[in-house]
Chains A and B, each alone.
Chain A
Amino acid sequence: MKPPSLGEFEELVLLMVAALHDEAYGVAILESLETKLDKKVNISAIHVALKRMEEKGFVKSRFGGITSDRGGRRKKFYVITAFGKQALDQQYSIRTEIYQQIPEISFN
């Protein structure tokens, strides 16, 4: 079965979830992405991406402990699923494959 499609921003968020491993929750993803991309990102955009990928089965979530700077609310941590990893791999391999087809000559 072909995995569901993965948008560009979703891919970035998924990569970050995988990279942060077990420490990935909304604000953490936001801040890491902002540093990496060096631009402002909306937290709502991240939530949208996370919810969609959760529906598609790329990530799964669990609630963490209570923290005071969240107004007594729990963090929601996301981890990448095997299916998510597979989608990421596939995406990556397609890109690499195409990338390698670029004839070197054209840049000389």
Chain B
Amino acid sequence: MLSSNPPKIAQKLLEWFIKDELVEEVLGDLDEKYYSSIKNKSTTRAKLNYWYQVLHYLRPFAIKNYWSNSNFNNMHLHHFKIGFRSLNKNKGYSFLNILGLTLGMTIALFIGLWVHDELSFNKSFNNYENIAKVMRVQHNDGQEVEVGSVMPPGLGTHLRENFSSQFEHVVIARSRPEEVILSNEGDNFTETGLFLQKDGPELFSVNMLSGSRAGLTDINSILISHKLAQKLFDDEDPVGKTIKYNGSQELAVNGVYEDFPTNSALKGYDFLAPFELYIDGWSDVTVWDNYFTQIFVLLPDNANLANTNELIKDLLQPHVSGPGERLLFVEPMKNWHLFSEYENGEKVLSQRLKFVWIIGLVGVFVLALACINFINLSTARSEKRALEIGVRKSVGSRKGQLIHQFLIESLIIAFISFGITIILSIVLLPAFNGLAGKNIQLPFYEPLFWLISLGTTMLTGIIAGAYPAFYLSSISPIKSLKGDYKTSRSASLPRKILVIFQFTISITLICGTLVIYNQIQFVKSRPVGYGKTNLVTLQKRTSELYGKYDVLQAEFEKSGAVESIGEASYPLTNTLGNNDGFDWEGKDPSFDPSFNTVKVNYDYGKVVQWEIIEGRDFSRDIRGDVRKSVIITEAAKEIMGFDEAVGKQLKFNNDFYSDPEITIVGVVKDMVKGNPFEKAKPAIMFLTERPLYWMFLRLNSDLSTAEAITRVENVIREVAPNAPFDYSFVDEEYDQKFRSEERVGSLITMFSILAIVISCLGLFGLASFVAEKRTKEIGIRKTLGASTSSLWGLLSKDFVSPVLIASILSIPFAYYLLDIWLTKFEYAIHISWWYFVITSGVALLVAIITVSYQALKAALLNPVNSLKSE
């Protein structure tokens, strides 16, 4: 049976929201009415009516006004006032707290933006959900399974013609960006862009500023980015004008598009040109035996990936010659950036995603370090506030109210820090973008940004304030008012643990910085097998430069700027051009390794200064060399398993390179052309007398670089007046390979510096507090004859031990993380003990310097002043 009393919950609700002065009258009337109505109505109806009436009091006249005159509000105003007063009173501590939190928050904010940028990669494309790339899984006997996206164009054409219900668009594109020279009225620019079929701009929903997406229908057309348009045409509208492509062909500019955002797959592509232009004269879209394209597809909205994959899986197989299996699948765009790394055919956690995780964690840790400062300083100062708490409690403050008060104090600090963080981040963002290689903007107009950052600030304030709030509010009023409230030894233990935690993180980060820098230096100083300095690469982009090798050689020599020249089919700074299908005596038939295959001319070895360790260089005097002799690298020799390689025969059926039977005439040291962090690729160099695309010039080191380059340019102007002069320095290109690792290095350096700064701020605050507390003790010790140095030791000792413990704790931690980091490099340093010794030494030194300032200040104080105060 229902109780006949009025509904309790409704009463509570009413009491909660209605003005205090109305409670008695309203509740009284409601109850009276209720009791009178249960006499002649059902209880349920009366209760329902009661609820109905209660809800009717939700109107302005009856609701409590929190902002004018309620107890609740007065209490909070009071808390705010006290909070600001205590901030003001302890300016030093407040400054340390706010500085620490601001640094931590700024880092956390940047890291948050960085992580968001990584996670929102490619989202700028309208068809983000539907774009995919065709990938292949290649199973070769006895080798790791490879996953790649390089395809023959024939596959793309086949997909477009036969699978129109699976793919709305199929676009064949060059498998990598191409560098071309674009010129307008004699101004030449080397630009990077993509060759793709005419539906490409539509598929990628390219944002056109003028012209149209359908601008690639003609073979002699091009779309250019806004940036390039500015370079070529200033502020004129380029649409309808023509530009020169690689110094010869005229292309009509059919559109200008907005630059692709930095966090997109098409980042930095300043032109889009027809794929047909790229293959004009040497290939065709129906070719199946040349792998040099990638194939983008647009899936319909309701696409079932598993079905699509099943349908296209075997399409490549009929066109594969030789052993091995090549299966196809499509990789949706949302996977491209962070979720498309394969190892032996299996999807693995990508390096980038790992990096996102690590950086994210570092951000959380740095913020935690700042919170720890706050916790430590507040609890350490509890003795100072013990009296205040005692008074508050004895006049009736409840524990909950005190907790409230201290939380408000920490929230004030958190929000002040947040305000400074916003200003600081506006100032520092360009520097951070430079460091991280990003183009991040502060999303001030996104409500979500404010929601998240204010939420995080709130959370930070609560986390930092929670422990001090509970700790301080539990101080006993009797003890504190009697004046013998002393923090016990055990009270400082959590503080020590937190300091140990701070320094463990800081030392680990410093150790990471040291190892990363050593690794980069180690690889940079690695022997590369050729002479990088004063070596210039020249691409022969136009036919004008072909067939003039002898003239150029003679002219360069005459100019005095060039010591020697040579040519090859590929540059020195990448490992393009790979072939398998080699056979030699004693080879296991199922073993079919791939070699970097490069065609070179007679002078190549001399100009790049390779180091012959066995046999001889190619020679003009030995006519039998062309198409019959090769020079291999050490790594190739090792793979072939020869004790002595010179004179050995190889079989290789590829007319493009050589006759089927070839002889090894020399072995050179490994040449590091690809990723310098990896083992050098085994390479085979073939000799040819035909002109080759890449020319190398060894500059005269007696001349200044600028002078030498000017002379080289003059020679080229003379020999080939219309050819654009396009050159690069091998050592500069080589250094480019370190950019991403150096970026990791600078980010980690920045984090570790901030971590140690924040930790030291905390230590500084604690030390000043301890020194202040022990002023009397020091005065007495001094009068009894203690020396300054012994006092300094006494005060510093307490802070040295947590740092020492942290040093020891951080060793396994740092070793584990750095070992993981180093395993991704084939060419890596070993982590040796001295990294830890140096790091611990540095941390200890910094900690001692921090503490010493306060310790010495206290030790140098005149005991007369410190003792006479009572």
Contacts and interface: CB of A to CB of B under 8 A. Distances in A.
Contacts of B61: 48, 51-52
Contacts of B35: 69
28 contacts: A26-B28, A27-B32, A30-B29, A43-B29, A43-B33, A43-B56, A44-B56, A44-B59, A45-B56, A47-B25, A47-B29, A47-B62, A48-B59, A48-B62, A52-B61, A63-B24, A67-B28, A69-B32, A69-B36, A70-B29, A71-B27, A73-B25, A73-B27, A73-B28, A74-B28, A75-B28, A76-B24, A76-B28
Interface in B7-23: 22
A35 interface: no
B29 A69 contact: no
B53 interface: yes
B27 A44 contact: no
A52 B59 CA distance: 13
A63 B25 CA distance: 9
A69 B59 contact: no
B26 to A, nearest CB: 6
Contacts of A67: 28, 32
A55 to B, nearest CB: 9
B29 A26 contact: yes
A30 B25 CA distance: 14
B591 interface: no
Given A42-B53, A44-B57, A69-B36, 20 more contacts: A26-B29, A26-B33, A27-B29, A42-B56, A43-B56, A44-B53, A44-B56, A44-B59, A47-B26, A48-B59, A48-B61, A63-B24, A67-B28, A69-B31, A71-B6, A73-B28, A73-B31, A74-B28, A75-B25, A75-B28
A44 B22 CA distance: 11
Interface string A25-62: 11100100000000000111101100110000000000
Contacts of B22: 47, 51
A47 B29 CA distance: 10
B13 to A, nearest CB: 14
Given A44-B59, A70-B31, A26 B53 contact: no
A81 B856 CA distance: 79
Interface string A6-41: 000000000000000000011100100000000000
Nearest to B5: A71
The 6 closest A-B pairs by CB, nearest first: A26-B29, A73-B28, A44-B56, A70-B28, A76-B25, A71-B31
A26 B56 contact: no
A75 B24 CA distance: 8
B30 interface: yes
A75 B27 CA distance: 10
Contacts of B32: 26-27, 67, 69-70
Contacts of A71: 6, 27-28, 31
A42 B32 CA distance: 14
Interface residues of A, number: 21
Contacts of B36: 27, 69
Interface in B45-62: 53, 56-57, 59, 61-62
A94 B524 CA distance: 102
B577 to A, nearest CB: 87
Nearest to A45: B56
Nearest to A64: B28
Nearest to A52: B61
Select the residue from A45, A47, A69, A74 with max chain B CB neighbours within 10 A: A47
Most buried by A among B6, B30, B35: B30
Contacts of B53: 42-44
Given A48-B59, A71-B6, A43 B25 contact: no
Nearest to A51: B61
Contacts of B25: 26, 47, 73, 75-76
Contacts of A25: 29
A22 B59 CA distance: 28
Contacts of A69: 31-32, 35-36
Nearest to B27: A73
Nearest to A48: B61
B708 to A, nearest CB: 94
B33 A27 contact: yes
Interface SS of A by simple majority: helix
A30 B33 contact: yes
Nearest to A76: B25
Given A27-B36, A51-B61, A43 B30 contact: yes
A63 B23 CA distance: 13
Interface centre among A42, A71, A75 (most CB of B within 10 A): A71
A26 to B, nearest CB: 3
Nearest to A70: B28
A70 B61 CA distance: 23
B714 to A, nearest CB: 96
A42 B26 CA distance: 12
Interface string B50-83: 0001001101011000000000000000000000
Contacts of A75: 25, 28
B23 to A, nearest CB: 9
Contacts of A63: 24
B375 to A, nearest CB: 48
A44 B62 CA distance: 9
Interface in A67-92: 67, 69-71, 73-76
Given A26-B29, A43-B33, A73 B57 contact: no
A74 B61 CA distance: 21
A105 B24 CA distance: 55
Given A44-B56, A48-B59, A74 B33 contact: no
Contacts of A76: 24-25, 28
B68 to A, nearest CB: 15
Nearest to B19: A51
Contacts of B30: 43
User: Which residue, of B6, B22, B32, B33, has the highest number of chain A Cβ atoms within 10 A?
Assistant: B32
Contacts of B33: 26-27, 30, 43
Nearest to A49: B61
Contacts of B6: 71
B675 to A, nearest CB: 78
B763 to A, nearest CB: 61
Contacts of A73: 24-25, 27-28, 31
A71 B62 CA distance: 21
A46 B35 CA distance: 19
A45 B26 CA distance: 11
A71 B50 CA distance: 14
A100 to B, nearest CB: 37
Nearest to A44: B56
A51 B31 CA distance: 19
Contacts of A44: 53, 56-57, 59, 62
Interface string B750-789: 0000000000000000000000000000000000000000
A96 to B, nearest CB: 32
Contacts of A43: 29-30, 33, 53, 56
Contacts of A52: 61
Nearest to A47: B26
A27 B36 CA distance: 10
Contacts of B29: 25-27, 30, 43, 47, 70
A75 B33 CA distance: 12
A29 B817 CA distance: 79
A16 to B, nearest CB: 14
Contacts of A47: 22, 25-26, 29, 57, 62
Nearest to B54: A44
B36 to A, nearest CB: 7
Interface string B696-724: 00000000000000000000000000000
B246 to A, nearest CB: 84
Nearest to A25: B29
A75 B46 CA distance: 21
Contact of B24 (A45, A51, A74): A74
Contacts of A27: 29, 32-33, 36
A69 B62 CA distance: 23
Contacts of B27: 71, 73
